[in-house]
């Protein structure tokens, strides 16, 4: 379906790729279980992949492909990316191990602990 859409509207290929990320990760989440928490888990990961791709596109626009390569080889950037990825994944595991109602309780407590609620 996406191939025919991209062939028909090539200017929207990027949009279709982001839709495909979300669909693929939603299916992957639902593959592991048919409850809402697995769908949210998949959506979180689809969003993370989409955000990473958007950041890559921004960097390519600003620095070009060679500049992106230099950016990605920077040890500080690698470290920050690893730390952020680990914490994002750890956060998403809330939805893996708990039902959606319990997840909301955990998120409220987390928000209160961080001063967000």
Alpha carbon 46 to its chain centroid, in Å, reads 4
Q: What pLDDT score was predicted for residue 50?
A: 92
SS3 content of the chain, % helix, strand, coil (to 5): 90, 0, 10
Whether pTM exceeds 0.85: no
Contacts of 23 (CB under 8 A, 6+ apart): 46
Nearest partner of 57 among 44, 67, 43, 47, judged by Cα: 67
In this predicted model, what pLDDT tens digit does every residue of 30-54 receive, in sequence order? Answer: 898 888 999 999 999 999 999 999 9
In this predicted model, what pLDDT tens digit does every residue of 61-74 receive, in sequence order? Answer: 999 999 999 999 99
Across the chain, where does the E strand assignment appear? none
Q: Mean pLDDT of all residues in the chain?
A: 91
């Amino acid at each position: 379906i996406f191939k025919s859409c991209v062939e028909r509207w090539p200017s929207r290929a990027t949009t279709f790729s982001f839709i495909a990320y979300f669909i693929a990760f939603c299916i992957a989440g639902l593959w592991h279980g048919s409850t809402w928490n697995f769908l949210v888990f998949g959506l979180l990961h689809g969003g993370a992949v989409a955000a990473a791709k958007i950041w890559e596109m921004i960097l390519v626009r600003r620095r070009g492909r060679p500049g992106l390569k230099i950016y990605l080889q920077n040890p500080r950037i690698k470290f920050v990316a690893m730390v952020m990825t680990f914490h994002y994944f750890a956060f998403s595991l809330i939805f893996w191990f708990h039902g959606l109602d319990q997840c909301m309780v955990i998120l409220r407590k987390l928000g209160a602990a961080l001063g967000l609620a």
